[in-house]
Amino acid sequence: MRSITRGAALLAAVATVLTPAAAQAAPAIDDTGLMGTYGFGRAAVIGAAGLESGAWSAYAVRSGYAGDDLIVSHPPRTSPLASETVVYTAAFNEVADPQAECRKVGAAGVAQRAWVSFRCRTGFVPSYTLLVR
């Protein structure tokens, strides 16, 4: 009887010690939400570039009357990445106002907690690259 009690106490102690570690080791569940509505075809370009860069784990495009909605799934970010990551580049021949699109995507990512901060870097013949942290 004494060995059963001792075994049960040891099992309870091990379970108590290991349970918080197992709970902390579980991966965070991705957030899914609307990143915004962009010109027809642009949501797919932005979604594919974000997936390739690792900014999100999945995306979907839903076509509507005013453009394409971009829906993304990403791990929630509460602290900045160690270094800036390029998400995508909008060029003047692909979109009417690449700077506005870059700022819109960057701000939507902050609001969705896909990244903590962003900046739009200008390039050749006005193109804008979205860099995130």
Chain centre to alpha carbon of residue 104: 15
Higher pLDDT, 57 or 17: 57
Query: Is the model's pLDDT at 37 over the cut of 80?
Result: yes
pLDDT band at residue 22, thresholds of 50, 70 and 90? very low
Q: Strands 68-74, 31-38: parallel, antiparallel or unpaired by DSSP? A: antiparallel
Alpha-carbon distance of 78 to 89, in angstroms, equals 24
Query: Is the model's pLDDT at 84 over the cut of 50?
Result: yes
Higher pLDDT, 25 or 94: 94
What is this structure's pTM?
0.76
Alpha-carbon distance of 131 to 23, in angstroms, equals 33
Query: Is the model's pLDDT at 2 over the cut of 70?
Result: no
